Each structure stands twice: as C-alpha cells, then as structure tokens.
Amino acid sequence: MSLTIGKLRRLQQCSTPDGLFVIVALDHRDDLRRLLKPVEPESLSYAEMAAFKSEVVRALAPVSSAVVLDPEFGAGQAIAAGSLPGHSGLLVTVEAAGYGGTDGDRRSTLLDDWGVDKVARMGASAVKMRIYYHPEARHAAKQEALVDEIVAACRAADLPLFLEPLSYSLDAKNKTLPSAERRAVVVETARRLSARGIDVLKAEFPLDPRQEPRRGEWEDACRELTEASAVPWVLLSGGVPFKEFSAQTEIACRHGASGVVVGRAVWQEAAELRNKAHDDFLSKTAIDRMVQLGDLIAEHATPWTKYYASAEDDIGEHWFRKY
C-alpha cells in the first residue's frame, strides 16, 4: 500500500523517528468524570475536566510521540493553554461518548457540531474514531457504513484515521466476552475493518488475560491479529493496571504491533490523588511508565512504515499540480 503525502507527513508527526507509536490517550469523558468525582461525577465542572487534561498533557506529551484528545475538554484547550508542545502529534476524536442502541447491539454516533473538516482546520495530525463493533451484531453493516463515512472524509482532508473498534457481548446479560470468543471477535473485526481504508488499527488485546494466563496463547493471538490486519496496529490499554499492560505491550510488540495508545494504565492515579501526592505522581511515576513503555516498543515493535510503500515514486517534478 502507498500513502498520500499528507497522510505520510502526519503519521510521521504521530510516531517516533523509527516509525513507532508511543501515544498517550486523554480523550476520556464519562469514565474520567467517575474517576475524578466517584460520588457525584455529574457535578464535575467543565473547567475541572479541562484543567486535569491540560495538566496531564503537559507532563506526558514530552515523553510521548503523540496525544489523543477530545474536542469537548482537551484538544483546543491544551493548545490554547500551551500544555501541548507544538512538535507533538495530536489525534482528535470525532465520536460522541458512550453508545446508542442496546447493550447487545451497540450503535456509535458522531459528536454534534464536529467532524473531520474541523479536526483538519485546527491543525491536528490525525483523526481517532471509536466504534462499538461485533461482526455478528444486527447493525454491524450500519457501523461499517459509519466507518466508511469517516474514511471518506479523512481521505478528502488527507488525514490519517486511527480506528478503535471495541468488542462487546451480544448477550446483554453478559458484559464481557469469554476469552476464546473475544479472540475470534477481535481478529475478525481487524480483518473486516482494517480493509476499509483506515490507516492504523487501535486494537484490544486479542484475548482476556484474566481468563487465559498462558503466554503461548497470548503470543498466538497477537500473531493472528497481525496476520488479520491490513494496516499497522497499536495496542490500547483498556483501563488495565500498568504492570499488566506492560506485559501485554511486550507480547503484542514482539508479535507485530507498532506501539501503543495508552490511557489510564499510565495516568489513572493522578485522577485519584490530591495535592503533593498528585503532583509527585505526574512528575515521576507517570513519566517513568511512559518511558518504560517507550523502551519496550523501541526494542520489540514493528515500524508502521513496513506496511506502506515509499511515496517517492509518487512525488515527481509536477506532483503538486495533481495533489
């Protein structure tokens, strides 16, 4: 596959010089409210949300290749506050928080009054889209159509799309998938959605480590995911503790992943601590965690550039006339 010059440039902005993704995610909304104010999450003010995100960005952006932020509380706010360095990659979400439909047939929606054109206008490097997806769900085709809509908009704006499919159980009474079914769903989802014109797949760990502790099965599942994905894939953290996510990161990167997009596994305690303990955690522990992940990724991950052909043949003397 080849990349347009705009997508190539912007993926470079989101990755290390070696073509690896060490990305911190702070596009959380409802779950962050519950972390910051567990008793009365709805009482959390806009200013408190924006301030927390800006503070974490200021601490972690310098040791990350890029940051994922939402427009409601994070993206424009971090730029305006000066907490996001100008050289840092920026991925901005387009989906609304949560989902519609039912627990057994989830429907994703886009954020009102927002879209790919505005992500491009604000100077972001890429679009991130979360989609709830199960290959056998009744409305799977409609979810695919929503992906296609954003793929087309990103193509028009020459912005890379990081797609984040989240699996779920079709049985509304069972909130989590059995490990073997999760593996099948994550792999089949990668096979179906990565071929629809996305640029990077943000994937769940392809089994449930709590149900399946055997490292050999972890390795096989990650290899299977790599084989199924038509594009580079990165591992999402899904709120697991840092030690567990670090182990997942090593296995995933040894077997084909191009890095991570990590959120709560790195910074969650900052939402729970106060005063000096909060400041010390952000300035030391959270940074150390990102550095540790970066070291693992540098040692084991597959550069995203291996998935894409060089753009040099497409850039001739008069390339700009056709661009």
The pLDDT of residue 186:
98
Is the sign of the CA dihedral 5, 8, 11, 16 positive or negative?
A: negative
Backbone angles phi, psi at 127, to 5 degrees: -105, 140
- pLDDT band per the 50, 70, 90 thresholds, residue 314: confident
The 10s digit of each residue's pLDDT in 34-85 is 999 999 999 999 999 999 999 999 999 999 999 999 999 999 999 999 999 9
Residues 74/78/274/263 CA torsion (nearest 10 deg): 50
- pLDDT band per the 50, 70, 90 thresholds, residue 303: very high
Beta strand ranges found along 62-109 (DSSP E): 66-69, 89-93, 100-102, 105-107
- Say what angle helices 215-228 and 179-193 make with each other, to 10 degrees: 20
The 10s digit of each residue's pLDDT in 83-129 is 999 999 999 999 999 999 999 999 999 999 999 999 999 999 999 99
Q: How far is the C-alpha of 267 from the C-alpha of 289, rounded, in Å?
A: 9
Q: Break the chain into its structural domains and give their ranges.
A: 5-322
Q: What is the mean pLDDT of residues 6-29?
A: 98
Fold of 5-322: TIM Barrel (3.20.20)
Question: pTM to 2 decimals?
Answer: 0.97
